[in-house]
Amino acid sequence: MHSTYAVLWGMQCVPGTLDVMPDITPYLRMKLGTVGCVEYAMPGSKELFDAFEKEADHSAGWLLMRHGTVVPGKTILDAFYAQEELEETAKILWEMYGKFLKFQLV
């Protein structure tokens, strides 16, 4: 999904980090769990699958650098609610810390 604040937060995440979103409310953990970061690669590419394979056991959802989110769920509704909470958390984090972050556009 290409949610605005998750994309912004994903601009500065570091691939391989086990949890890139701090606990500012309990709801992200309750609805999703930890959020990892995966380097962007072309959709459907071996590089993308390899990147997710390395991270699959460490997080319940992911920010795809400079792109968006990948959030699974037992049902489509579970995935939607988890995605919604991830975006709301990213929005709060961006409002709190965004102006202090340094990152380079590529």
Hey, which residues are catalytic here?
27
In the structure encoding, which two tokens stand for residue 55, read together? 């991270």
Question: Residue 64: which H helix or E strand, with range?
Answer: strand 61-64
Q: CA dihedral in degrees (37, 25, 32, 89; nearest 10)? A: -50
- Structural contact between residues 69 and 85, judged by C-beta atoms closer than 8 angstroms: no
Beta strands 68-70 and 61-64 are antiparallel
